[in-house]
Amino acid sequence: MWRSCFLVAVLTGSVFPVSGFSNGKVTVSCGDMMPRHGVVPSPAPPPFNITVDTASFTPGDNITVTLQEASSTPTYFRGFLIEARDAGKPNSPAVGSFLLTDPQESQLLQCGHTQGSAVSHRRKSKKTRIQAVWEPPKNPPQRVQFLATVLHEYKVFWVKMEGPVVSLHGATAAPSTPSTPAPPPTSSAPPLSEPFSSAGCGLSKSCLRDPVGCHPESDPACFFLSFVTDQQGGSVTFELSGPAEGYLAFAPLSGQMDGE
Ligand SMILES: *[C@@H]1O[C@H](CO)[C@@H](O)[C@H](O)[C@H]1NC(C)=O
Ligand SMILES: *[C@@H]1O[C@H](CO)[C@@H](O)[C@H](O)[C@H]1NC(C)=O
């Protein structure tokens, strides 16, 4: 019998506050857009919506994306993560890149290879509306969908909300009508109890694995430790999992960990 134990910690300097990502540097969530907050997404309908100012685009266009409250009862959000993806492949990497229109409240992230391919919050202030401009990549997919994870409060959030689809201008068979929204998958958002993933090892994060090259998502005997240092080098995010009767733990050997 084994029990696994997952630990996510954010180290700022050499202190140890498990403070979450109030600074919005959430590249660890680029892929699944899932906050590492120890709770599952809210089952309620999201009180926010995503809109764009066009239904079709050509490379070189600027598309304004708006995330805002869409509720009869006023609400707000503190955190968010917005990406654009190939509409036919919701699990594929983010495409295109964003420009900020509100640098006080938003920042660009690098998801995958493209700098600026996601936008996130900058601080945990209460927001009701945020905009950013999306620029298509040089070779865009025929249809692009905007997706957003929105945090109302630390433990109340919606993951990978499906926004509008925009079609490459002149693309054939492009159902650009908003009356055909892609069905459910908000319910497919994985709960946090899922194992960490080896995806991104060596690219977006550094990983230690035993046995070498094992996959924590499929191999219960895999000891897995990964860490990501943010660009400023101010914080390090760890993922630690493995077979254990009790719990797994680690400690930084000294007060400092080297960033890059
Ligand atoms: C898109 O926005 C950028 C930055 O504001 C600007 O330099 C560029 O000219 C704009 N492109 C179009 C087609 O409006
Ligand atoms: C999004 O919400 C705003 C109100 O905040 C509303 O005016 C708009 O019609 C909504 N758009 C969609 C597509 O639901």
Chain segment 137-159, per-residue pLDDT in tens: 999 999 999 999 999 999 999 99
Residues with CB under 6 A from ligand 1: 60-62, 99, 133
Residue 226: predicted pLDDT: 74
Q: Counting ligands in written order, which one lies closest to the CA of residue 58?
A: 1
Task: Please choose from 53, 57, 62 the residue to mutate so as to test ligand 1's pocket, defined by most ligand atoms within 8 A of CB.
Answer: 62
Together in a domain, 113 and 161 = yes
Q: What percentage of residues in the chain have a pLDDT greater than 70?
A: 68
Residue of minimum CA distance from atom 7 in ligand 1: 62
C-alpha 238 – ligand 2 centre gap (Å): 38
Q: Is the peptide bond before 211 cis (omega within 30 degrees of 0)?
A: yes
CA dihedral 151, 152, 154, 159 (to 10 degrees): -30
Q: Which amino acid, one-letter code, is at 197?
A: S
Residue 152, domain member (yes or no): yes
Together in a domain, 143 and 43 = yes
How many separate domains does the chain show? 2
Residue 221: predicted pLDDT: 76
Q: Counting ligands in written order, which one lies closest to the CA of residue 133?
A: 1
Together in a domain, 66 and 121 = yes
Together in a domain, 93 and 145 = yes
Of the three residues 99, 134, 168, the one that is the final residue of a domain is 168
What pTM does this model have? 0.63
Residue of minimum CA distance from atom 10 in ligand 1: 62
Tokens for 85, please give them.
């993806």
Together in a domain, 128 and 55 = yes
C-alpha 132 – ligand 1 centre gap (Å): 12
Q: Which atom of ligand 1 is nearest to the CA of 99?
A: 4
Residue 15: predicted pLDDT: 33
Together in a domain, 206 and 249 = yes
Residue of minimum CA distance from atom 14 in ligand 1: 62
Residue 227, domain member (yes or no): yes
Residue of minimum CA distance from atom 8 in ligand 2: 70
Chain segment 37-60, per-residue pLDDT in tens: 889 999 999 999 999 999 999 999
The CATH number assigned to the domain holding 111 equals 2.60.40.4060
Together in a domain, 8 and 89 = no
C-alpha 164 – ligand 1 centre gap (Å): 21
Together in a domain, 49 and 155 = yes
Q: Which atom of ligand 1 is nearest to the CA of 135?
A: 1
Chain segment 81-120, per-residue pLDDT in tens: 999 999 989 899 999 999 999 999 999 999 988 999 999 9
Task: Please choose from 64, 66, 68, 165 the residue to mutate so as to test ligand 2's pocket, defined by most ligand atoms within 8 A of CB.
Answer: 68
Return d(Cα 122, Cα 107) in angstroms, integer.
6
Residue 122, domain member (yes or no): yes
Structural domain boundaries enclosing 195: 1-17+191-260
Band (pLDDT 50/70/90 cuts) for residue 1 is: very low
Residue 179, domain member (yes or no): no
Residue 28: predicted pLDDT: 86
Residue 23, domain member (yes or no): no
Q: Which atom of ligand 2 is nearest to the CA of 178?
A: 13
Return d(Cα 194, Cα 238) in angstroms, integer.
16
Residue 184, domain member (yes or no): no
Residue 25, domain member (yes or no): no
Together in a domain, 138 and 36 = yes
Residue 174, domain member (yes or no): no
Together in a domain, 134 and 217 = no
C-alpha 49 – ligand 1 centre gap (Å): 25
Together in a domain, 39 and 164 = yes
Q: Which atom of ligand 1 is nearest to the CA of 60?
A: 13
C-alpha 148 – ligand 1 centre gap (Å): 23
Together in a domain, 118 and 37 = yes
